[in-house]
Amino acid sequence: MSALHKRSLAIAGHRTSVSLEKPFWEALKEIAAGEGRPLASLVAEIDLARGEANLSSALRLHVLAHYRARAGTASLSPAV
């Protein structure tokens, strides 16, 4: 399992730190680059939409949803 990597970001005018595994940081960078925007912009959008969820969890779920949508399996619920 990959170790957590902590990054500091400015979101909505305040600094925050987020810990994610390196593959999730890499995936978020790829997603942001594919959308032609900075990583901080993508994280800020996810932050706004997350509700009460933990930001790290929301970022992981965003990555999962992105790649599932690309694979044609957009549902986040496990197969039964």
Any domain includes 62: yes
Any domain includes 60: yes
Average pLDDT over the chain reads 89
Any domain includes 77: no
Any domain includes 40: yes
Any domain includes 49: yes
Cα Rg of the chain (Å, integer): 13
User: Region 73-79: what's the mean pLDDT?
Assistant: 57
What tokens were used for 62?
């965003």
The whole domain housing 23 covers 4-71
Q: What is the CATH number of the domain that holds 35?
A: 1.10.3990.20
Q: What is the pLDDT of residue 11?
A: 86
Any domain includes 54: yes
Say how many domains are in the chain.
1
Q: What is the pLDDT of residue 1?
A: 59
What's the first-to-final CA gap in the chain, in angstroms? 26
Q: What is the pLDDT of residue 5?
A: 93
Any domain includes 39: yes
80, pLDDT greater than 70? no
pLDDT per residue as tens digits for the range 11-50: 888 899 999 999 999 999 999 999 999 999 999 999 999 9
